[in-house]
Structure 1
């Protein structure tokens, strides 16, 4: 109902605008508006934002977060009832997917960062709904989170890369410092290193650290290979037969500095004074400062300018259609470059725009004399669009070479606005993106009952939400962290304001998004306008809308978990009218469905936890033995490269040093017993005999590594768990390799066996982790019988649990082993229900055992204000003194979004 109401409001808004148009030929303009409205109604856009409890984490932490799902003008969405959150490693490998139930446009989640599934890395967090998967992934929620490790870590390192060019050959230098856990350098230690890119080994060598633990590696990329996916792997020989591997991605030196140009309106046109935005980026994707000179093809200097913010700058000049232009750039790292400006068009018309103040947008249309003479008196359209909604439209006649006007900003909601100049035939001629801010966000304030607290003292926070001066019903989330142990750079944060108003509507990486919202000044607004000139804004083009060439809808909005399939006779024909029963035995849950004329059936609006065993049976039919149940698979968006890869931290150890030191204290304080040495006879090594399986004949009974089945407890996907648990093995493009051989350039896959049968790696996703006895890893095949037979290198053997010899099994157990066509057993993806955040309670006068070194002091994802706009929270401070930082974010029922930060002291 809310969706229809919102669409009706938007339609009324457009109807109010239309009478102001010129009454000349408006057929094309009406067509644009009507087709855009039709698109909006058939494909409303959802947005997802995740509020996390803190900016970075450590192994054994728990990530706490809340998902806000909106549509339209940021109202809580009723389209989808499921949000997905993917956690992806820096090598673009999916580690885990969470499925979260949505209620009133919100969902909560938690992710324990337990090893070995998680390790020190930069993780790409991607959040979306299936409905959003119909559109470009660039508009998903994307965030990079760094996870460090200080537990039982024997080596910390810091690396600095430098790129140069010598004799047209790219040169890369790496300076690496190695330290032990106490900060002492590893001096005079041998280090083996190898650089690999895809299936190619670029270089390798052996060096020695100096008296400060410093190692310098220089190599030449003589084959000019793409280093974007390359890694440098070093192996430090610490002595006593102890070796430690470190892996460093080479993305930051993959390419030289680059400069891009963005003429306002989209083109340079001869004799029209134009503004050109400039974006200079380093190979790591971050902006870099520069100074530049513009010259023409004769070498004459036209103008000079400097960067303004984060590698962004701009200059103004009047181009000549008969000339070409270069921009000569001096970067802050001392390098130089010369870059061609886009070709100057001989004739045309341009749109320029700027937000002169909070109340109006100034626009100017300028045509050169040739264009004006050929189209004088013709009709043009100016369209202003926010999201999918045309909020402003006007029709003009070209009666002079230059035309200017003001558009009231009140026509648009706060956020990104696309202004388009269009011909009367529906062809976009020039465009400009601007940002409108009404300062109409949800007003949030936080107050504490005391300015300063003691350790383990109760803290009371009161929260107020207002719409201007009126109390607001708001759905909020509250995080309180120890900022002394977790320093925060507020400019780099992704907030509910920066995402919903900015990032979610623009393509491309935005550096330091909260910089534009944290402290709004004339400079930040000018910098934001530069950003508008350089970022893409193209959910749908007007050409696509007018031609009707809109990508088809593949995914419908999900209202709950849905399992679908087809019921067929054994000869393959669809079976109509068959009754199917779904059951979850350990939950006493059941449902019923009937197949249609094509044999298709579905069980809609299901609700069960992840890893639940689900049975779909057609046994209730009179001819059940001649029927087979075929379940449909579930499609998910492909794992794409992290669009925010510039946010990846190369030196996690040093970037998170304060936090990791605190984590180490927590770990050490939890160890009650000191380490002692126990002398006894070594237990007899367990061996596995493979003679039961002919395919494994000749394989050693002693594997290089064994993963016991109990280590897979809590694992949802065998393949996902193995890629982090399997020591000495690497997974690339769903193929297992012996890691050392892969890094040395030998790209021969490992053989994978389940119950003695060779299987494809994708088969592992269908295995039930609870049924696995052990996983054996053979990094070498001594006799070579398996490797020669299957043309592989290394063997992965998965042994399932079996009953002891002589054990009798029932008929039901035998049928379970053999399987029945009329019964489908599966463990489909289910809901990942969030844990409850633990809040310790201290009693005055008592001494609770153990230090309290928490860094996330409090987390509440469900803070609801009352009719007076009030809410409150109570919790206890920890043992660490310092500054505590409370962050409140959320949305009210009308779609107003808000955020506030509050700090208090603990002494």
Structure 2
């Protein structure tokens, strides 16, 4: 879809409106509103990222194969940014891995091996973004929950359910957990100890015993400090023979309560105006909950009845009467009931309603109640509609009657979220409605194969057809083929190029089962999608901010290449102008040189640095080089954002992912070899710690400790530390740590004191530390009798201790030089581009033999570089099936140069 035609059409429309409104003396003209909106879009263009993954979930040992599509405007391939960042965070908000990729023609490809011990069984949060996107809300990054299972050496299979309540300010939680061995036999009569660290000095803990069916029932009665949604339940089951197994269960669904919200169409309920009211009911796990109920007024009379139609959402209509208040009487599917007030009713106001049932037109209805109409009769109001930041329709009318209706042709708008807003003459938004435009303007993709049934290890040839309407087009595509029998998944819950670029990237908040609205488009799904638009109350585009000049600051510039910048100074700190700096990347046999400017600053651009490569900066080729020092500028890191799609987390991974887990176990058994075991005498070696430093004398035993082995796989020490310190909260705006209890009460005057090897430092110092060098991190919630906090007006102590080089180790002259390099040389290892591996697709000459190694692949084929012919719109690919029989699912996604996006699914059988 070419958005340039929409800008051209808009310019004609603006000219017409300007001429028709030339006699008006408005506070803010419609043209001004359009001009300010377009100026904002031009200066703050929105980039979007979508990642096509080969599978919906994985097991440890798998590889995540992906292709990222980066767009701008109305789905144009972006040329604004050339670097993509992909972060993976655990369910406990611990940073796990960062990937950096080069964007070429709006796409980037990569792979993430899920190796042990970096990845364990659990739910992970994957987010993808460009540096430019960091100027906006992280909710609009590409966000996806990834579930990873691990059946190998898993001694305990668990199944869990939670229930919770808050009565009389007393919180009660019940966890019912079943423990089984890998064969499915219950662990009966086993001791289970449990702990909940709830930011208190004394965590909740207890012991239970499993029954004959392997169930342990844990009743948790929280004390003065309640259990929070961020807390987890830690269990340890005693398996006998000195064997134990640990499990972690997030308590988010146990702590939360069922909730319902009401959303009047247009934003407000008005006295005397018949209004549509949408509602959304959510269960404790964050998913939609079926409800029914009635609306009653203050006399007890029933004004309306309602019942959810899809995923806890629905709507009803009623007319609020003057002088009355209204309550909703709700009954949930489990029989529980609650009563809540409806949103307040305005005595004077005007409302916008949009009817989206006609295939070709939108119907608009503006209704002013009696009080508003009397005050504003014959005044002008504006209507504007925008999509992806582009104003595509604008008009004005005079309030000559309380009700005004109009129709707009849908051909003015592309498929996607459309924001329709009603303004008064001062530019104040009065009412707003979000609708979804569904037109036949997607990239038409088709997948076909020579047959619908194949044998094992048989070649499959497939053809792709791409059309823009009826015309063949050149499109860049990615395709995955998986064994759906091993990786079953609810197709309604899939994240696709359509759900991401057309829906979730424009609406803030969790969208449950987004592919339901695109898989089969009919009257029912269209009605359910319209209810979603009514209840998804947050969108990225706010006119009130734009028209009041509340423009977000630009703190992060678009990246066209990888850069290294810094300053060359002499021993006194003065910058050196016209100094020579040489950059070397030994791994790539690459070398280049630049000259500093008059402020001593240097910059190396257009660099391609592979990840884990060493970069050497050298200022030796300068006069008096021994007195020069190179200071390299650091790079800011994106903080860990919450998982907005947490309801997609799988609680009972073992049972939910059973077919995939079983296949992984088979694959492991077929390749398993016993490792040689050597038994050696263990000699106790004292570990370095706070006792080694006189400055920390007087501290008691640490309240919490983090050992170095927990940090060794952490790619960024400072970022990981923010999420691993129990009872400690990090404030990014102040770059300080605080005792969590004090911080939650607003006490920010006394940060935690930070020590590094007994020397007091600040956060900027530890930001430069590397994880492999750390021996331990010790946390003290008070300073004992050391006097540290009283002296420095701090509260609590963090001691970071590095590893000690064993005495007697010989150091070579080169190693010594590396420990004390001259200041005119700077050696660094910047985060470089990750190199994607090539997907292996085997080729077979015939069926499997008795000595053949079993082919147990779940991802059968993956290709990110399919390009259709511009004349015929076709391309082809081929692959071989694996050894297991079942249903294979092929998915092709992508876009053409005009921004038309598309997706197609094709299934065939292997017998």
TM-score, length basis structure 2 = 0.89
Which residue in 2 is equivalent to 1:475?
476
Question: Using the alignment, how far apart are the partners of 2:777 and 2:140 within structure 1?
Answer: 43
Conserved in 2, the CA contact under 8 Å of 1:485 and 1:662?
yes
Per the TM alignment, residue 8 of structure 1 is displaced from its structure 2 partner at its CA by: 5.7
Question: Using the alignment, how far apart are the partners of 2:539 and 2:410 within structure 1?
Answer: 21
Conserved in 2, the CA contact under 8 Å of 1:484 and 1:884?
yes
Q: Structure 2: where are the runs of 5+ without partners? A: 698-704, 731-735, 739-750, 790-794
Per the TM alignment, residue 234 of structure 1 is displaced from its structure 2 partner at its CA by: 1.2
Per the TM alignment, residue 764 of structure 1 is displaced from its structure 2 partner at its CA by: 7.0
Deviation per CA, 1:309-359: give whole Å up to 9, x if none.
111111111102311111010001221111111111111111110213221
Cα distance, 1:860–1:788 mapped onto 2, change above 3 Å: farther
Question: Using the alignment, how far apart are the partners of 1:435 and 1:523 within structure 2?
Answer: 14
Cα distance, 1:793–1:542 mapped onto 2, change above 3 Å: closer
Deviation per CA, 1:630-684: give whole Å up to 9, x if none.
11111122211111111111111111011101101111110145x89x7x86346
Conserved in 2, the CA contact under 8 Å of 1:292 and 1:304?
yes
Which residue in 1 is equivalent to 2:459?
458
Cα distance, 1:819–1:211 mapped onto 2, change above 3 Å: same
Deviation per CA, 1:470-521: give whole Å up to 9, x if none.
1111111111111111101011111100111111001111111111111112
2:10 to 10, 14, 18: 14
Does the residue aligned with 2:357 lie in a helix, a strand or coil? strand
Deviation per CA, 1:58-102: give whole Å up to 9, x if none.
111111111000111111111100111110111112111111101
Which residue in 2 is equivalent to 1:434?
435
Which residue in 1 is equivalent to 2:265?
264
Per the TM alignment, residue 776 of structure 1 is displaced from its structure 2 partner at its CA by: 5.5
Per the TM alignment, residue 722 of structure 1 is displaced from its structure 2 partner at its CA by: 10
Which residue in 2 is equivalent to 1:77?
78
Does the residue aligned with 1:895 lie in a helix, a strand or coil? coil
Question: Using the alignment, how far apart are the partners of 1:764 and 1:126 within structure 2?
Answer: 25
Question: Using the alignment, how far apart are the partners of 1:905 and 1:719 within structure 2?
Answer: 50
Which residue in 2 is equivalent to 1:569?
570
Question: Using the alignment, how far apart are the partners of 1:177 and 1:8 within structure 2?
Answer: 59
Tell me whether 1:336 sits opposite 2:337 in the alignment.
yes
Conserved in 1, the CA contact under 8 Å of 2:456 and 2:847?
no
Does the residue aligned with 1:356 lie in a helix, a strand or coil? coil
- Counterparts of 1:518-597 in structure 2, within 5 Å, are 518-597=519-598
Cα distance, 1:409–1:68 mapped onto 2, change above 3 Å: same
Question: Using the alignment, how far apart are the partners of 1:779 and 1:551 within structure 2?
Answer: 39
- Counterparts of 1:153-232 in structure 2, within 5 Å, are 153-199=154-200, 201=202, 203-223=204-224, 225=226, 227-232=228-233
Question: Using the alignment, how far apart are the partners of 1:906 and 1:52 within structure 2?
Answer: 23
Conserved in 1, the CA contact under 8 Å of 2:158 and 2:652?
yes
2:899 to 888, 895, 901: 895
Per the TM alignment, residue 546 of structure 1 is displaced from its structure 2 partner at its CA by: 2.0
Deviation per CA, 1:112-145: give whole Å up to 9, x if none.
1111111111111111101111111111111101
Does the residue aligned with 2:394 lie in a helix, a strand or coil? strand
Deviation per CA, 1:592-629: give whole Å up to 9, x if none.
23222333221112111111111222222213233222
Question: Using the alignment, how far apart are the partners of 2:785 and 2:840 within structure 1?
Answer: 51
Which residue in 1 is equivalent to 2:702?
none
Tell me whether 1:603 sits opposite 2:607 in the alignment.
no
Which residue in 2 is equivalent to 1:502?
503
Tell me whether 1:406 sits opposite 2:407 in the alignment.
yes
1:825 to 820, 824, 827: 827
Which residue in 2 is equivalent to 1:237?
238
Bigger CA drift: 12-21 or 789-798?
789-798
Cα distance, 1:210–1:761 mapped onto 2, change above 3 Å: farther
Per the TM alignment, residue 859 of structure 1 is displaced from its structure 2 partner at its CA by: 0.9
Per the TM alignment, residue 201 of structure 1 is displaced from its structure 2 partner at its CA by: 5.0
Conserved in 2, the CA contact under 8 Å of 1:695 and 1:786?
no
Which residue in 1 is equivalent to 2:838?
836
Which residue in 1 is equivalent to 2:417?
416
Question: Using the alignment, how far apart are the partners of 1:716 and 1:196 within structure 2?
Answer: 26
Deviation per CA, 1:177-214: give whole Å up to 9, x if none.
00001110000011111223234656322111000001
- Counterparts of 1:716-865 in structure 2, within 5 Å, are 716-717=715-716, 766=768, 798-799=802-803, 805=809, 809=813, 813-844=815-846, 847=849, 849-865=852-868
Cα distance, 1:249–1:889 mapped onto 2, change above 3 Å: same
Conserved in 1, the CA contact under 8 Å of 2:290 and 2:311?
yes
Question: Using the alignment, how far apart are the partners of 2:854 and 2:727 within structure 1?
Answer: 40
Question: Using the alignment, how far apart are the partners of 2:867 and 2:253 within structure 1?
Answer: 44
Conserved in 1, the CA contact under 8 Å of 2:198 and 2:225?
no
Question: Using the alignment, how far apart are the partners of 1:550 and 1:721 within structure 2?
Answer: 32
Per the TM alignment, residue 165 of structure 1 is displaced from its structure 2 partner at its CA by: 4.2
Deviation per CA, 1:271-305: give whole Å up to 9, x if none.
01111111111222111000111011122211111
Per the TM alignment, residue 421 of structure 1 is displaced from its structure 2 partner at its CA by: 0.5
Cα distance, 1:521–1:612 mapped onto 2, change above 3 Å: same
Per the TM alignment, residue 875 of structure 1 is displaced from its structure 2 partner at its CA by: 1.3
Question: Using the alignment, how far apart are the partners of 2:769 and 2:63 within structure 1?
Answer: 27
Question: Using the alignment, how far apart are the partners of 1:695 and 1:887 within structure 2?
Answer: 60
Question: Using the alignment, how far apart are the partners of 2:428 and 2:223 within structure 1?
Answer: 47
Conserved in 2, the CA contact under 8 Å of 1:787 and 1:793?
no
Cα distance, 1:311–1:751 mapped onto 2, change above 3 Å: same
Per the TM alignment, residue 540 of structure 1 is displaced from its structure 2 partner at its CA by: 3.7
Cα distance, 1:572–1:9 mapped onto 2, change above 3 Å: farther
Deviation per CA, 1:679-713: give whole Å up to 9, x if none.
x863464847979x964999xxxxx999899x96x
Question: Using the alignment, how far apart are the partners of 1:620 and 1:434 within structure 2?
Answer: 64
Does the residue aligned with 2:352 lie in a helix, a strand or coil? strand
TM-score, length basis structure 1 = 0.89
Cα distance, 1:842–1:49 mapped onto 2, change above 3 Å: same
Bigger CA drift: 196-205 or 859-868?
196-205
Conserved in 2, the CA contact under 8 Å of 1:289 and 1:332?
yes
Conserved in 1, the CA contact under 8 Å of 2:149 and 2:653?
yes
Question: Using the alignment, how far apart are the partners of 2:458 and 2:274 within structure 1?
Answer: 64
Question: Using the alignment, how far apart are the partners of 2:341 and 2:706 within structure 1?
Answer: 57
Deviation per CA, 1:794-836: give whole Å up to 9, x if none.
99864366796565525xx544322333222111111011111
Deviation per CA, 1:816-868: give whole Å up to 9, x if none.
32233322211111101111111112222774632111111111111111121
2:680 to 676, 679, 682: 682
Cα distance, 1:861–1:385 mapped onto 2, change above 3 Å: same
Question: Using the alignment, how far apart are the partners of 2:212 and 2:834 within structure 1?
Answer: 50
Conserved in 1, the CA contact under 8 Å of 2:160 and 2:651?
yes
Per the TM alignment, residue 758 of structure 1 is displaced from its structure 2 partner at its CA by: 8.7
Question: Using the alignment, how far apart are the partners of 1:85 and 1:293 within structure 2?
Answer: 46
Q: Structure 1: where are the runs of 5+ without partners? A: 699-703, 738-747
Question: Using the alignment, how far apart are the partners of 1:596 and 1:830 within structure 2?
Answer: 26
Conserved in 1, the CA contact under 8 Å of 2:493 and 2:512?
yes
Cα distance, 1:62–1:758 mapped onto 2, change above 3 Å: farther
Conserved in 2, the CA contact under 8 Å of 1:191 and 1:235?
yes
Question: Using the alignment, how far apart are the partners of 2:779 and 2:73 within structure 1?
Answer: 58
Does the residue aligned with 1:309 lie in a helix, a strand or coil? coil
Which residue in 1 is equivalent to 2:322?
321
Conserved in 1, the CA contact under 8 Å of 2:497 and 2:894?
yes
Question: Using the alignment, how far apart are the partners of 1:125 and 1:247 within structure 2?
Answer: 20
Q: Give the root-mean-square deviation of aligned CA atoms.
A: 3.5
Question: Using the alignment, how far apart are the partners of 1:467 and 1:572 within structure 2?
Answer: 61
Does the residue aligned with 1:545 lie in a helix, a strand or coil? helix
Conserved in 2, the CA contact under 8 Å of 1:482 and 1:856?
yes
Per the TM alignment, residue 749 of structure 1 is displaced from its structure 2 partner at its CA by: 11
